[in-house]
Chains A and B, each alone.
Chain A
């Protein structure tokens, strides 16, 4: 298992100090780690388990149970395409296929240049404006394949500006 860098373990330690005395803190801790590091590195499992008096299996079990937690770093931009019924009713599957082809990756993967990761999501609560996509936490409605191309290009340009 890959070791955490010293800044990573410092971050995890700080989060554990902040959350460990709250009731039922594990999900809160994992959310905070993912928010800070972009993912929950496998190297953090032991630290979390020790601080919360849980077994490593408990922590691993929770990380793998929830779709939201990732154990590898995401792309610079995370693209979530809704695959649920309401979006399917208005071309959601074609949009999902377009996203795969356009990015050249499948769901749960990251582009080779590390720019984008593509994830499925099962409902973004924007069903009156289907199909829906979320890019870096920004929600988009009535997304056509052309509109998705424009949004991805926009995210890419922002990257260059930064």
Chain B
């Protein structure tokens, strides 16, 4: 991924070299990882030391990024957060042998933060070179596809159904049932599409996965194709993710060269190929029918359902639409077995969820755990509380359409049904923390503003309702007859929820309603 990254093909020449992992993940780069990588290369050259730099994904411990891992005689030893200025000192401390230094973290996998996680979907992220097919295969990659090719399409779909996997994009629809519908269609052309339009604030697991282990997504899509008879795939990637775009494009070319994609997938005689298509900054295109419109080159306006995309989707053909995490989890299900996957979790939420901690949080990052832990555990044990040191007053779960949950409800379990039970939703698993300086009426205004900005305009409750919503909250913020305007705002929310065509207008009121329910004082006590 950079000029000084050494590919495994060069491994023979690099056998005596010390392998050093410097994340190429966008989040790590945003904190200076590129400069660190260049500094390591320069210092190693100056000292005549043989170093093999690998640009891995992020482990998800963003408070430690840039987190550099050295494969030393003592094992894989991490140092972080490393700045370019720290690099000479780290060499002086003998870090290539795992030497002591103030930034020495030790083996990441023995940190309680990491060791207590259950990484199935993210098993390889941060551990491997994301662009190396060989590295992917050496870490269990393509075993799932191999198994799928040995099974009948129906058996593959049944395995996915039995695993209990539900759509991780937010809607939580059972993946196997969707696949069954596509399998049952008689059509000369079927498609597998991946929704990588991860637009919810507070979410970044799709990005991390695509940057850290893109082959798992490619393999998952290939399994979906094998299971349903699709021959073409598209990854609809948001334009805000240029790093993921570069890595995906490179990985697809690598998979093609190694015959994991193309006219004869793994020698099976089955054809499947895929390409990345870029979105263009429209949040609504994360809605599946809008995404299909956009893939066809049109305005991303939602379609009326039925027909479902599984029956009549992309270019009118039966189409699987699944999120990045959903598809990337499928190889692990095929590899380890559906029952093993279903053995994780609780109730109707089976398996694990890559949860993202964001906003005002001390240790933000990615935590993959089986469903069933509490919000409190996440926010305080993994997250370490707020970054500001003030009490966490509220969290927003599931993106801009998700409800605000007050501190009094932090013992709620992370599980689709448990959160629905308190009027919240898990969505794509992003949790944004706010400390006690947050003004919830302003957050309510933002929710309406965002809906107004992103509404596709097709239905009135969303297009007009959101603008009226902004105006109402403006009046409340100005202290103008708040009782009356709060009542009107509640009525408007109800109209939008009941009358909108899709989830944007239908759910944008959720943060507003939850703010009114739990933080009413922020609306009524304005001066």
A contact set with B: CB distance below 8 Å = 23-28, 30-31, 58, 61-62, 65-69, 84-90, 121-130, 132, 134, 137-142
Cβ of A130 to closest chain B Cβ, rounded Å: 6
Q: Quick check: is B337 within 8 A (CB to CB) of the other chain?
A: no
Contacts of B299 in A (CB 8 A): 61-62, 65
Given known pairs A125-B240, A139-B26, the reply for A86 and B202 (CB within 8 Å) is: yes
| A65 lies within 8 A of B300 (CB) | yes
| Residue among B242, B283, B298 with most chain A CB within 10 A | B298
| A66 lies within 8 A of B281 (CB) | yes
Contacts of B446 in A (CB 8 A): 85, 88
| B201 lies within 8 A of A127 (CB) | yes
B contact set with A: CB distance below 8 Å = 26-27, 29-31, 60, 62-63, 65, 198-204, 206-207, 239-243, 277-283, 294-300, 315, 356-361, 364-366, 387-388, 396, 400, 430, 432-435, 438, 443, 446, 450, 453-454, 456
Cβ of A151 to closest chain B Cβ, rounded Å: 11
Q: Bound complex: CA of A86 vs CA of B435, how far in Å?
A: 12
| A125 lies within 8 A of B203 (CB) | yes
Contacts of B279 in A (CB 8 A): 27, 66, 68
Contacts of B400 in A (CB 8 A): 84-85, 122
Contacts of A66 in B (CB 8 A): 279-282, 300
Supply 17 further A-B pairs (C-beta < 8 A) apart from A27-B279, A124-B240: A24-B296, A27-B294, A58-B298, A65-B282, A66-B281, A68-B239, A86-B358, A86-B359, A88-B446, A122-B199, A122-B450, A122-B453, A127-B201, A128-B356, A129-B65, A139-B26, A139-B30
Contact of B360 among A69, A89, A142 (CB under 8 A): A89
Contact of A24 among B29, B30, B297 (CB under 8 A): B297
| B281 lies within 8 A of A68 (CB) | yes
Q: Bound complex: CA of A134 vs CA of B241, how far in Å?
A: 11
Cβ of A107 to closest chain B Cβ, rounded Å: 11
Given known pairs A123-B199, A139-B26, the reply for A130 and B358 (CB within 8 Å) is: yes
Contact of B201 among A28, A31, A122, A140 (CB under 8 A): A122
Q: Bound complex: CA of A129 vs CA of B67, how far in Å?
A: 14
Contacts of A126 in B (CB 8 A): 26-27, 30, 204
Cβ of B43 to closest chain A Cβ, rounded Å: 23
Contacts of B65 in A (CB 8 A): 129
Given known pairs A68-B280, A89-B438, A128-B358, the reply for A28 and B396 (CB within 8 Å) is: no
Cβ of A44 to closest chain B Cβ, rounded Å: 15
| B297 lies within 8 A of A62 (CB) | yes
Q: Bound complex: CA of A84 vs CA of B430, how far in Å?
A: 13
| A127 lies within 8 A of B198 (CB) | no
The 4 closest A-B pairs by CB, nearest first: A128-B364, A26-B297, A84-B201, A127-B358
| A129 lies within 8 A of B199 (CB) | no
Would you give 8 A-B contacts (Cβ < 8 Å), ordered by A?
A: A68-B280, A84-B202, A86-B201, A89-B359, A90-B359, A126-B30, A129-B31, A138-B29
Given known pairs A126-B26, A137-B242, the reply for A85 and B199 (CB within 8 Å) is: no
Contacts of B203 in A (CB 8 A): 123, 125, 127
Q: Bound complex: CA of A26 vs CA of B298, how far in Å?
A: 7
Q: Bound complex: CA of A58 vs CA of B293, how far in Å?
A: 13
Which residue from chain B places its CB closest to the CB of A54 in the assembled complex?
Answer: B297
Given known pairs A24-B296, A27-B280, A128-B358, the reply for A141 and B242 (CB within 8 Å) is: no
Contacts of B62 in A (CB 8 A): 128-129, 141
Contacts of B29 in A (CB 8 A): 138-139
| Residue among A28, A69, A90, A128 with most chain B CB within 10 A | A128
Contacts of A137 in B (CB 8 A): 242
Given known pairs A27-B294, A127-B203, A139-B26, the reply for A122 and B283 (CB within 8 Å) is: yes
Q: Bound complex: CA of A95 vs CA of B434, how far in Å?
A: 17
Q: Bound complex: CA of A30 vs CA of B281, how far in Å?
A: 13
Contacts of A85 in B (CB 8 A): 201-202, 359, 396, 400, 432, 443, 446
Which residue from chain B places its CB closest to the CB of A128 in the assembled complex?
Answer: B364
Q: Bound complex: CA of A87 vs CA of B443, how far in Å?
A: 12
Q: Bound complex: CA of A137 vs CA of B366, how far in Å?
A: 24
Contacts of B31 in A (CB 8 A): 129, 141-142
| B207 lies within 8 A of A130 (CB) | no
Contacts of A132 in B (CB 8 A): 30
Cβ of B466 to closest chain A Cβ, rounded Å: 14
Cβ of B394 to closest chain A Cβ, rounded Å: 10
| A87 lies within 8 A of B201 (CB) | yes
Contacts of A84 in B (CB 8 A): 201-202, 400, 450
Q: Bound complex: CA of A28 vs CA of B297, how far in Å?
A: 8
Contact of A139 among B243, B278, B281, B456 (CB under 8 A): B243
| Residue among A121, A132, A142 with most chain B CB within 10 A | A142
| A90 lies within 8 A of B360 (CB) | yes
Contact of B364 among A24, A121, A129 (CB under 8 A): A129
Which residue from chain A places its CB closest to the CB of B296 in the assembled complex?
Answer: A24
| B432 lies within 8 A of A127 (CB) | yes
Q: Bound complex: CA of A61 vs CA of B199, how far in Å?
A: 22
Q: Bound complex: CA of A126 vs CA of B63, how far in Å?
A: 12
